[in-house]
Chain A
């Protein structure tokens, strides 16, 4: 009996010794010390964290922690970029820590996360000095990149850990604030996130979105940075979630389409507007290839060219379904009409992704940037009524060959009307909007006010009930007339 116990003790000593030895070896051989590697890892279960992040009913905060020197570098880089190019679109990644906490008590810290500001018009210096040298803080849209590798060499342990790191089942996460446009702000606060939900309800593949409070901690100073919409990026992770890869695990081409270098209207002049951005040189394209770039060397865009050829060709009706997921496009047109974002593809040839499935499959349109929706924001309706009285088939459609040609095909036109009717009677529902609004207000308003956050603090439904009601009535009547 004693020998048996002795064996067990020896065995335990061996096991603990082995573990200790392994830990010591890792520590001794790590570039920055043992702790610097292991603290970078994120071994949390990703799916539950993703679900929590995008659960709109769950209160959450994100604190971005900067070292003073890092924050100064961020400001200096953006200012230098502005002096050179007249815009703050410096995409240099800066190293921050990120603290996540939510209303269920979940809290954890991610170390060495990449931070950069994002967007064009909503990109701001997060802090300036006023005429008396006081710090003035400004909300800005930004991105967190969980797999940023900074200056770590490819053979370092840090690179190995960071390059494959995910958080919330994501490589990156975008943060958008409620912008003031011509003195007007979305006091309902949830409009962008709700618009994404509406597109999802309509059967589109779009980003998941939620909201939360953001804090910036710079050195010893913590700034209540306000209410933000948290938006899933359209990236490799998104593709893997929604599309099939080829046998080699590769995905098709993904283009981000904006009006950066001229409108992205899918007309035949697309080639001069297509390429791979070189941000450091402020070179940007309207059809920006986001993946399969061959390290920036790729110059051919066959799938996009094929789509443009069909869109502008003589055999549109016969071929379009080969190169485009038309059903999803019709759903996009219908729900987009209800959402009323006049800064989208249909009305402004702007703000969408095109993903071309592997093996030459059809393209899928993925709308993004929905901050001018549901009766608020930048709009082009000259009546000032946020497009509620727009026609189902407006003359402006002729400016876009894809929209005009699709809606000229009777069966597509009929499907468009069907989707309009179904969405207007279904998910496009003010009560749902009001419920989400009430939930968000209950979660955040008191904290926004008490902590004097940047940006809008008091929720208001503004014209939302009118917008939903009037838009629904208009669409219902016009669909009946069109049929």
Chain B
């Protein structure tokens, strides 16, 4: 009994004391962690391919992009472009607007990313308003325009603010930006640009990765089926790190975007040539779109540190072909092999708006001191689009010397004329053309084009047509002015004949 009392007393005292102290010594259920099997991943020393990057550029994978604008932002986008037009005569305003992004793909990936930067893209001919206006300025419809998404844009947030840091570090698909080009309505074969880039990549050259997607605009609840777009990996600092890595000192080289702009064609001749407006030095440097003036040679990396000598020196050496050791100079300044390979692929692709035909649309990246050519903007090629030669280039000799326009001649293109004046390089160029068009093993194979097209048709045709999307709605390999199959066949035959001709001489 004594013991019972003692226990009772002690328990009562303890309960009272604990209650008075308000302490909680009870144990409650915590979240139970699930024990998983150990399965460590293998080590690697280089960056692995981000799964989302791979999914994004998998052409057998369906992609859908929904961009949500506020009405206020969409109106501002239009106003900014119109103001730019009023001031400079084109819609090439690059002001960034905020949008929300939803990405969905056939692998089941769904990504919502808020506060992404949006701007329109394109040159003076292709950049246009995303809306159709009547004479009174009222929106009466929508039209496609190419655009860019910037995942790491920081808008007006102050440097070092939380918003700035979070946005600055943001990557999506292992990219900082992503370009969207609308598929031209009359290109019923759909995959022309994709196939062109794939040819460069199949040859082992650095070229943007691409894929199709269907785009919707959501403007505060107004859904615009905006059509079929080609997503194109931007050529920027991320691109050069991905394909070239870093220099030994941890930096990356100068990357130059070379385009026919205000100063003239990007022939790589001395800057004084084709200086239409007589301001010469403004042809090369860091371009500022706010000034309404685009340079022909625009530095895209090392903007704060470069003295521009990479390109200036390269131009000097390229053009000075009177020196006795010109070939040595060339090989110390240019990645000759990749350039010859590029010439061969470019000839097969038949884009009349590239360096060889039009001194336009390419990047030069200086990797360990040597220039590497990167092709871009291939939406008119492979038998489609601009046709200055009348035959989509299929009848051009492999040493064809006519340019697409008469502003300059073949001899004004030192990167072609001077390089192909050297016998060994001509031989290598012919060998590449021969190999690429080999009926059994060549990469220039219509079957690849057709396979890309079939993927696209299966994935998108129904949605595009039933959803009344803007832009291209016919998926057909035969309805183009020149079918892709005809182009591949005729080009192959012509190239092989031309190679044989030159080898026999």
Contacts and interface: CB of A to CB of B under 8 A. Distances in A.
Interface string A120-139: 00001100101110101010
B5 A131 contact: no
Interface residue tally on A, bucketed by range: 35 or more
A460 B114 contact: no
A102 B23 contact: no
Contacts of B38: 438, 442
A136 to B, nearest CB: 7
Interface stretch (A81-89, A150-158, A202-210, A276-284): A81-89
A16 B24 CA distance: 22
A103 B16 CA distance: 30
B343 to A, nearest CB: 32
Given A102-B30, A445-B36, A446-B34, A43 B23 contact: yes
Given A19-B17, A183-B169, A444-B33, A465 B43 contact: yes
B118 to A, nearest CB: 12
Contact of A384 (B13, B163, B166, B246): B246
B160 A87 contact: yes
B35 A437 contact: no
A16 B12 contact: yes
Interface string B416-440: 0000000000000000000000000
Contact of B31 (A20, A61, A82): A61
Interface string B8-22: 010011001100111
B250 A384 contact: yes
Interface in A359-386: 381-384
Nearest to B159: A86
A93 B207 CA distance: 53
Contacts of A437: 40
Contacts of B155: 131
Given A138-B162, A438-B38, A446-B36, A41 B21 contact: yes
B100 A132 contact: yes
B70 interface: yes
Contacts of A182: 169
A225 B70 CA distance: 29
Given A19-B16, A382-B249, A461-B43, A442 B21 contact: no
A383 B247 CA distance: 8
Interface centre among B41, B70, B165 (most CB of A within 10 A): B41
B325 interface: no
A182 B169 CA distance: 6
A35 interface: yes
B13 A38 contact: no
B36 A105 contact: no
B328 interface: no
Nearest to A381: B250
A44 interface: yes
Interface string A424-442: 0000000000100110011
B28 A383 contact: no
Contacts of B222: none
B43 A136 contact: no
B275 interface: no
A125 B36 CA distance: 35
Interface centre among A60, A132, A181 (most CB of B within 10 A): A132
Contacts of B250: 381-384
Nearest to B45: A466
Nearest to A125: B162
A16 B16 contact: yes
B32 A103 contact: yes
A462 B98 CA distance: 33
A19 B20 contact: yes
B25 interface: yes
Interface in B154-200: 155, 158, 160-163, 165-166, 169, 171
A109 B25 CA distance: 10
Given A131-B115, A132-B100, A447-B31, A438 B161 contact: no
Interface in A64-118: 82, 86-88, 101-109
A431 to B, nearest CB: 10
Nearest to A109: B24
B114 A105 contact: no
B42 interface: yes
B165 A108 contact: no
A337 interface: no
A190 to B, nearest CB: 12
A28 interface: no
A440 B344 CA distance: 53
A227 to B, nearest CB: 13
A223 interface: no
A108 B24 contact: yes
Contacts of A60: 30
B504 interface: no
B27 interface: yes
A59 interface: yes
Interface string B240-254: 000001101110000
Contacts of A464: 43
Contacts of B249: 382
A394 to B, nearest CB: 16
Contacts of A43: 21, 23
Contact of B114 (A86, A103, A134): A134
A463 B48 CA distance: 10
A305 interface: no
B243 to A, nearest CB: 15
B44 interface: yes
A156 to B, nearest CB: 17
Contacts of B135: none
A337 B376 CA distance: 45
A44 B43 contact: no
B86 interface: no
A48 B202 CA distance: 62
Contact of A59 (B17, B27, B30, B163): B30
A473 interface: no
A194 B349 CA distance: 54
Contacts of A441: 36
A8 interface: yes
B134 interface: no
Given A19-B13, A19-B16, A465 B42 contact: yes
A103 to B, nearest CB: 6
Contacts of B42: 461, 465
A461 B41 CA distance: 6
Interface of A: 8, 12, 15-16, 19-20, 23, 26, 35, 38-39, 41, 43-44, 59-61, 82, 86-88, 101-109, 124-125, 128, 130-132, 134, 136, 138, 140, 180-183, 381-384, 434, 437-438, 441-447, 460-467, 469
25 contacts: A8-B5, A15-B13, A19-B13, A19-B16, A26-B20, A60-B30, A88-B162, A101-B30, A101-B31, A103-B32, A103-B33, A105-B28, A130-B114, A136-B114, A181-B169, A183-B169, A383-B248, A383-B250, A437-B40, A438-B39, A442-B36, A446-B34, A446-B36, A447-B31, A462-B44
Given A124-B166, A131-B73, 7 more contacts: A43-B23, A61-B31, A103-B30, A105-B28, A140-B162, A442-B38, A462-B43
